Structure 1
Amino acid sequence: MTPSERPYGTWPSGVSLDALVEGAATRRWPCADGDDLYWVESDPDRAGRGYLRRHRPGEGAPEWVSDLAVRSRVHSFGARPLAARDGRVVVVGDDDQRLYLLRAGRAPEALSPPAPEPRSVRHGAPDLDGHGRVVALRERDTPTGTVDEIVLVDLASRAESTILTGHDFFGAPALSPDGRHVAVVAWDDPSMPWDSTVLVEADLLEGTSRVVLGGPGESVTQPRYGPDGTLYAVTDSSGWWNLHRRDGDAWANAGPSEAEFAPPPWLAGEASYAPRADGSILVSWTRGGLDHVGLLTPTGVLVPLAGPWTCVVGVAASERAAGLIAAGPLFSERVERLDLATRRTGAVVASSAREVDPGDVARPQVLEVETPAGPVHALFYPPTSAAYVGPANEAPPAVLHAHSGPTRRALAQYDLDVQFWTTRGYAYLDVNYGGSTGYGRAYRERLRGHWGVVDVEDCAACLRACAQRGLLDPARVVSIGSSASGVTTLGLARRGVLAAASLRYPVTDLRRLARASARFEAHYLDGLVGTLPGADALYRERSALGFVDELSTPLALFHGTEDEVVPLAQSLALASALEARGVPHCLVVVEGEGHGFRDPATWRREAAVEESFFARVLGLGPFDPTLGVEIRHAEALAPPTPSA
């Protein structure tokens, strides 16, 4: 069938508002034990809470292991909530943050004592040895502050003992196979775990501990013992997060590469590699904005495994099983088994997101844009439809997305939030500005002291490059931001390069964010902007509430009444300033929502308002009056074009 010509931004789409919220299950934390694969799966049908699932060969569909909701709330962002070995499964209960032992036919058995106050003691990242012991990270509130500790629990006696203290933060601990040693990453304020960390190894027999790797200017993450007792860790001492192996007291790069073998350690216990008994290592890595999976041989040769993955959540391997959670251009995250002997894979659980006809799916294109400061990276998704094309003499409108964090990256995967726009005739540009992960330490540190400057400049440079290549219409660029990426989006609005922007719970006051940040991020802005009070002028200069008089871009704002990270007052103040200046805007206040909307009904309404707001600003159609939202000063907008 020959596609019909229709103006960009007005194409009928198979990605409906309902599709954005239906079947939005998430899967994380793969774990292998014997033949079994475990993971945690959350589902809107269960109020978005996570539960343990298990797959066994030959048993068909995976089973739900327990009705106990599992989740670790360590460091506010969380940690791996499960471990499995020799048929034993240990998890963290979401409701009380205690460790539990799960056994077939029995109710969950608490391994740790109840906390003095609800969730005042939080466990995370458990690991098991072969001798009936569990090591875990424990975060504990005390009258004088919150402390991190590493604890050891005996499964038989339920005795819990503290084995490591003395640092502001610990990561996920690892137990050696013989049960004698524990290795764990530690760091202290004001560093973040991607800045400077050390790897501490404790000798449980001698009762001693020592630093074995890391130091100032080096980020170590993901320590793990191999089946033969060899200690591994990922470190960026080479300028890239590469996997290293200990040999005596020395460390060797197991496979030198200009690639990243770990994500930024926001969550304790993520697994990007799994050592195997034959000396090889199942690994995932990021190069050029895409994720890959392969085997790292004992001689340091990296052998890629053929597969459709471009985004890997985690890998797992035991003596008999291997698996991963990954996504690709045509499917959202799913669990797959790996047969490392034949290098064959098969989906254990199908993608949860509603599938779109392959002819309607926009695939990510890797972009590299040269700037005076060096290359900038991005993922570009063209407007895509099997049924429609845009006018030959017209470039499409575009959605610019700057990821939040900001120490994160845009992920190359099938995402209905992207396809929602590309199937309607918008281009979608996802920028990995300087400061993003996946491109080495030097690129990550480009943002140091320059948040709100480098990210804005890099996004603007990508827009210019795409416009020069005819990929988008620079006069019709809209942007979507949330939380921390509000700094970038509002910085672009200040420069006048956006036709409109949509912002969810945006950061508009950096000084207030610095004061209100949770313990894990308490000093994050010291590195991104500067140390207060000395850098007060910088904080004012880069905060939207400090340059609101320079804003004329129409804005749609969404904010929850229960947001404790970025208070609703920030969006109220921004809306008030826009109102006083007659700038078109709308403000949607969502009762009961906090930082990061959780109710699918909220997601649906937000997307509906966003789509209609952008269409109205770009002249593609009228604003939907049934949404119950008013665009203030809409009279300042150009009327919709007759063709819309």
Structure 2
Amino acid sequence: MFNEVHVDPNTESIYLVEGRPAEGGRCAIVKFEGGTGEGVDVLPSQYSARSLVHEYGGGACAMGCDGGLIFTDSNTRGVFRMKSPDNIQSIVGVDAQSRFADFDVHPKDPRWVLAVLEVHGPNSVDNKVAIIDATAGTSSVLCEGADFYQHPKFSHDGKWICWVQWKHPDMPWTGNELYVAEWEDGKIGQPKFVAGHAEKESISQPKWHSYGGLLFGSDRTGFQQLYLYDPISSEVKKVNVKGYEDAELGGPDMFFLGSSTYTELNPGTLLVTYTRNATNGVLLVGILSGHPVNLPMNIVEVQYASVRRISDSKFAIVGSRTIAPAALYTLDAKTKAHAVLRSTTSISLPQTIFSESRGISFPRTYGQDKTGLAHAIFIPPHNPDFAPVPGTKPPLIVYSHGGPTANASPGLSLASQYWTSRGYAYVSVNYAGSEGYGRAYMESLNSFWGIKDVDDCASCVAYLAEQGVIDGSRVGITGQSSGGYTVLQALCTYPDLFAAGSSLYGISNLILLAAGTHKFESHYLYPLMFTKGTTPAEQEKILHDRSPCNHAERIKSPLLLLQGVNDKVVPLDQALAMAKVLKEEGKDVKLVTFEGEGHGFRKEENVKRATEEVEQLWKRTLVR
């Protein structure tokens, strides 16, 4: 897994943060000297470059003007500057309660490092914008008072900073605010509001332009579009990217800090990734004209923190194609020459074994709301060495993505290809609420979580069965986190539709979740569950009624629960509650817990064990 990309502007060397299951989930740093070559590990093995802010992390590194790479270590929570494997220095004293992330280094004085600071007290978690004085080894607070912050950044001349902030009940994609302030020697002036609005307008990825303006994304039109702000005149102008008014340009920002999906290549040109129908593409955009040029890279999924400028015409990007797994690419926009520096897999697999995904849209045939279309990514079974039994149709695995306001993309996933190469059809449902189709589609899940997502999964099964591409009597459903909640709800709501279910660290009890999840998502479920004005008594009833553990008697199919013991996002008690009530009901349920794992499995042996457990379930229930 590739987490982040950073580039030294002085040498054009590329630094790749790479998650390694074989090393217990450690995040290594690989350096490509001069932007070429095989790549060399430069982070000593005692460090892991991963942040812990918001529990999801992100924004673990930043490049300094002196060629020093700032990183935070998830083992010690320390913050360091690395100039070489033998030259790593701590730049701030850190206590056990403090977590830093989302760094930015002053463009002229590497002494100063902006960061998001999260302080965990006995009964509270406080988030702030901090400035680290790397010379003194201290930090101080620049901004506080909001519930969350992200994207603190220095302007190119070092005279301004910007940041994004928001308060509960918002998430960064539902509503936040962008501010700027003048900077001078460790202090900031009076903050100036730029854009954004609680619950109405989401701001993403502010980036200072080399001529002094501030670029940012906003969904005020219903889709994330790019704007340019002048901090002197306070004027905001839209970058009118012609023909892409119905696409998401760059954003929105989602669960991880440090996102970077567009960049300035040169003063007149932006490199912008876009999302349309949950599928990414790459554009060159004239910043004044808005004229777009689509780059023929065939990348359909871009990693959230991977787009970085190398030179006036060259950039780095991590992306997937429909028949190639995620890889680190470099591309020269002038010559169109590109190179693959590193792939996420070292296994040599012929492209002929891959099954190419395709986007589908289908009518809603289940549930009360049958208006409009829902969407999915469908992958048929394929293996050149095997043929299906004549006259049969394949079983189907339905995947419900997490979030729930994330999405599934058509980029090649070896995890899904594992199943399609073994004869299963696979579909990832972008149900109501999924990102990548505009703000209105994302908001269509509001007050209907646990209902519309489930109905859309059921409607997708019905559509594929009607099209004659799957055996509708052999359907399993799986999902992670909130996707695991959809799995449990689907088994309760449509017990005769799904032959089995696999829930990975899924939610079973919404009342427990509301009371016990972490700060970042502690208000996330409220707009997803309730309309404004819902009384506390009504809220409690809704949470009870939409908690699968309270309706376990409806489940007829075998269920597998996989859960990390150290999960802070969806705690272990969620899986324990579901397993307990199902066992009391005499149901077919198996709970497997993983020591040392949090929200998602990072260790090689646990990823393998989880896959084997799921495969046993599908063989038992879907294969005849």
Find the counterpart in structure 2 of residue 357 from structure 1. 350
TM-score computed with the length of structure 2 as normaliser? 0.90
Give the Cα–Cα distance (whole angstroms) in 1 for the partners of residues 413 and 85 of structure 2.
38
Aligned 1:327-342 pairs, distance under 5 A: 327-342=320-335
Q: State the secondary structure of the residue aligned to 1:602.
A: helix
| Contact 1:226 1:276 survives alignment (8 Å) | no
The answer to whether structure 1 residue 583 and structure 2 residue 566 are counterparts is: no
Q: State the secondary structure of the residue aligned to 1:434.
A: coil
Find the counterpart in structure 2 of residue 640 from structure 1. none
The answer to whether structure 1 residue 266 and structure 2 residue 266 are counterparts is: no
CA-CA distance at 1:454 after TM superposition:
0.8
The answer to whether structure 1 residue 251 and structure 2 residue 255 are counterparts is: no
CA-CA distance at 1:434 after TM superposition:
0.7
Aligned 1:48-447 pairs, distance under 5 A: 48-57=25-34, 60-67=37-44, 68-86=47-65, 87-104=67-84, 106-115=86-95, 118=96, 120-132=97-109, 133-142=112-121, 145-205=124-184, 207-216=189-198, 217-247=200-230, 248-254=233-239, 255=241, 257-261=245-249, 262-298=251-287, 299-313=289-303, 314-319=306-311, 321-352=314-345, 354-371=347-364, 372-447=370-445
Give the Cα–Cα distance (whole angstroms) in 2 for the partners of residues 38 and 60 of structure 1.
12
Find the counterpart in structure 2 of residue 500 from structure 1. 500
Q: State the secondary structure of the residue aligned to 2:549.
A: helix
Mean CA deviation greater in 535-544 or 592-601: 592-601
In structure 2, the CA distance between the partners of 1:445 and 1:545, relative to structure 1 (3 Å rule), is same
In structure 2, the CA distance between the partners of 1:597 and 1:350, relative to structure 1 (3 Å rule), is closer
CA-CA distance at 1:218 after TM superposition:
0.3
| Contact 1:332 1:353 survives alignment (8 Å) | no
| Contact 1:78 1:267 survives alignment (8 Å) | yes
Mean CA deviation greater in 556-565 or 243-252: 556-565
Find the counterpart in structure 1 of residue 465 from structure 2. 467
CA-CA distance at 1:28 after TM superposition:
2.5
Give the Cα–Cα distance (whole angstroms) in 2 for the partners of residues 572 and 188 of structure 1.
32
In structure 2, the CA distance between the partners of 1:169 and 1:594, relative to structure 1 (3 Å rule), is closer
| Contact 1:72 1:92 survives alignment (8 Å) | yes
Mean CA deviation greater in 419-428 or 62-71: 62-71
Aligned 1:412-561 pairs, distance under 5 A: 412-494=410-492, 495-496=494-495, 497-530=497-530, 532-561=536-565
Mean CA deviation greater in 174-183 or 596-605: 596-605
Q: State the secondary structure of the residue aligned to 1:326.
A: strand
CA-CA distance at 1:319 after TM superposition:
3.5
Mean CA deviation greater in 199-208 or 138-147: 138-147
CA-CA distance at 1:353 after TM superposition:
5.4
CA-CA distance at 1:443 after TM superposition:
0.5
CA-CA distance at 1:94 after TM superposition:
2.3
Find the counterpart in structure 2 of residue 628 from structure 1. none
In structure 2, the CA distance between the partners of 1:408 and 1:361, relative to structure 1 (3 Å rule), is same
Identity of aligned residues (%): 29
| Contact 2:13 2:35 survives alignment (8 Å) | no
CA-CA distance at 1:194 after TM superposition:
1.1
Deviations 1:296-317 (A, max 9, x none): 1121112111113111112000
In structure 2, the CA distance between the partners of 1:591 and 1:207, relative to structure 1 (3 Å rule), is closer
Find the counterpart in structure 2 of residue 606 from structure 1. 610
Deviations 1:45-80 (A, max 9, x none): 332211222212376221223314222111111131
Give the Cα–Cα distance (whole angstroms) in 1 for the partners of residues 423 and 32 of structure 2.
40
| Contact 1:557 1:586 survives alignment (8 Å) | yes
CA-CA distance at 1:597 after TM superposition:
2.6
CA-CA distance at 1:252 after TM superposition:
2.4
Give the Cα–Cα distance (whole angstroms) in 2 for the partners of residues 579 and 160 of structure 1.
52
Partner amino acid, structure 2, of 1:502 = S
Give the Cα–Cα distance (whole angstroms) in 2 for the partners of residues 476 and 97 of structure 1.
47
Partner amino acid, structure 2, of 1:440 = G
In structure 2, the CA distance between the partners of 1:516 and 1:58, relative to structure 1 (3 Å rule), is closer
Q: State the secondary structure of the residue aligned to 2:142.
A: strand
Partner amino acid, structure 2, of 1:260 = E
Partner amino acid, structure 2, of 1:430 = S
CA-CA distance at 1:397 after TM superposition:
0.6
In structure 2, the CA distance between the partners of 1:144 and 1:231, relative to structure 1 (3 Å rule), is same
In structure 2, the CA distance between the partners of 1:74 and 1:332, relative to structure 1 (3 Å rule), is same
Any unmatched runs of 5+ in structure 1? 1-24, 621-644
The answer to whether structure 1 residue 26 and structure 2 residue 2 are counterparts is: yes
Give the Cα–Cα distance (whole angstroms) in 2 for the partners of residues 560 and 136 of structure 1.
29
In structure 2, the CA distance between the partners of 1:409 and 1:64, relative to structure 1 (3 Å rule), is same
In structure 2, the CA distance between the partners of 1:181 and 1:427, relative to structure 1 (3 Å rule), is same
Give the Cα–Cα distance (whole angstroms) in 2 for the partners of residues 559 and 295 of structure 1.
43
Give the Cα–Cα distance (whole angstroms) in 1 for the partners of residues 593 and 165 of structure 2.
40
Q: State the secondary structure of the residue aligned to 1:526.
A: helix
In structure 2, the CA distance between the partners of 1:549 and 1:393, relative to structure 1 (3 Å rule), is same
In structure 2, the CA distance between the partners of 1:159 and 1:600, relative to structure 1 (3 Å rule), is closer
In structure 2, the CA distance between the partners of 1:222 and 1:476, relative to structure 1 (3 Å rule), is same
CA-CA distance at 1:593 after TM superposition:
4.1
Q: State the secondary structure of the residue aligned to 1:470.
A: coil
| Contact 1:311 1:327 survives alignment (8 Å) | yes
Partner amino acid, structure 1, of 2:247 = A
Find the counterpart in structure 1 of residue 367 from structure 2. none
Partner amino acid, structure 1, of 2:213 = T
| Contact 1:559 1:588 survives alignment (8 Å) | yes
Mean CA deviation greater in 362-371 or 434-443: 362-371
Q: State the secondary structure of the residue aligned to 1:387.
A: coil
Equivalent residue in structure 1 for 2:21, among 44, 52, 55: 44
CA-CA distance at 1:511 after TM superposition:
0.7
Partner amino acid, structure 2, of 1:94 = S
| Contact 1:331 1:351 survives alignment (8 Å) | no
Give the Cα–Cα distance (whole angstroms) in 2 for the partners of residues 65 and 579 of structure 1.
50
CA-CA distance at 1:450 after TM superposition:
0.8
User: Greater relative contact order: 1 or 2 (C-alpha under 8 angstroms, separation 6 or more)?
Assistant: 1
Give the Cα–Cα distance (whole angstroms) in 1 for the partners of residues 608 and 132 of structure 2.
44
| Contact 1:353 1:416 survives alignment (8 Å) | no
Give the Cα–Cα distance (whole angstroms) in 2 for the partners of residues 143 and 187 of structure 1.
23
In structure 2, the CA distance between the partners of 1:277 and 1:599, relative to structure 1 (3 Å rule), is closer
TM-score computed with the length of structure 1 as normaliser? 0.87
Any unmatched runs of 5+ in structure 2? 365-369
CA-CA distance at 1:236 after TM superposition:
0.5
Give the Cα–Cα distance (whole angstroms) in 1 for the partners of residues 554 and 501 of structure 2.
15
Mean CA deviation greater in 56-65 or 392-401: 56-65
CA-CA distance at 1:410 after TM superposition:
0.6
| Contact 2:484 2:506 survives alignment (8 Å) | yes
Partner amino acid, structure 2, of 1:477 = V
Q: State the secondary structure of the residue aligned to 1:111.
A: strand
Q: State the secondary structure of the residue aligned to 1:419.
A: helix
CA-CA distance at 1:246 after TM superposition:
1.7
